[in-house]
Amino acid sequence: MSAATGIADDYAGTRVLAERGWTEAAIKRFLGEPDRRVPNPVYRSAAPARLYAIARVEAAEDTTEWRAWRLAADGRSARGKTAAETRRAQTITEVAALDIRVPVMDLGRLAVLAVEHRNVRDADRAWDRGWDDSDPAEVDGVDQGTLHRWMVNYLRHRQTSYDADLSGLYGRVGRAEAQAAIRRRVYDVIAEAYPSLAAECARQFAERAGG
């Protein structure tokens, strides 16, 4: 008897069967109805746990039919993994081929545009939250660290294809890796074009990468 589940060792639940390679379809096909039903050992309000006699499970696994099914299932799993890896590699290749660039402009002009962009976004957030007004800023009233952050944000969101490129990854295999690659390239492009913003680019990338 298992101390954790209260289930006799000569019976196997669906989790144990899954660890042995069984799927729900295979259980229905080769085993049919469970040999026992007991209260769910984890959630008492859930449906009863289905138990199958180990002897019957092993007998099913010893049949030619089950072995043939398992061989085919393993083959499908391997092909699925190969196909997923192929799609992941394709996504990463497409990201590497993206033409990411940023216009170079006078830093004073960039600062003005960045503050305007921040003010528009701040006003939009105020509207969405039902606030009566926002808190517009002016270039002369913003400290350098904040101004650099706004400048990088403006370049990233308004002067590159960053947002569109990230949206294009929805549902793609390898999405997380591709997103990180796009962010890295965008920040690198901005830092190369504006060396004074390189430290802020590195800070933002590290923050979005989790450290």
For the full predicted model, state whether its pTM sits above 0.75.
no
Condensed to tens digits (0 to 9), the pLDDT of residues 127-173 reads 666 666 667 888 888 899 999 999 999 999 888 877 777 777 676 76
- Give the integer Cα–Cα distance in Å for 56 and 41: 22
- CA 177 vs CA 12, 35, 89, 166, 172: distances in Å: 39, 46, 10, 11, 11
- Region at 23 (left for phi over 0; alpha for psi -120 to 50; beta for the rest): beta
Q: CA–CA separation, 82 vs 88, rounded Å? A: 10
Torsions phi, psi of 129, nearest 5?
-90, 0
The two most distant CA atoms of the chain are separated, in Å, by 80
Tens-digit pLDDT profile for residues 82-101: 877 777 777 777 777 778 88
How many residues does this entry show for the chain?
Answer: 211
Cα 41 to Cα 1, 4, 32, 54, distances in angstroms: 13, 8, 22, 19
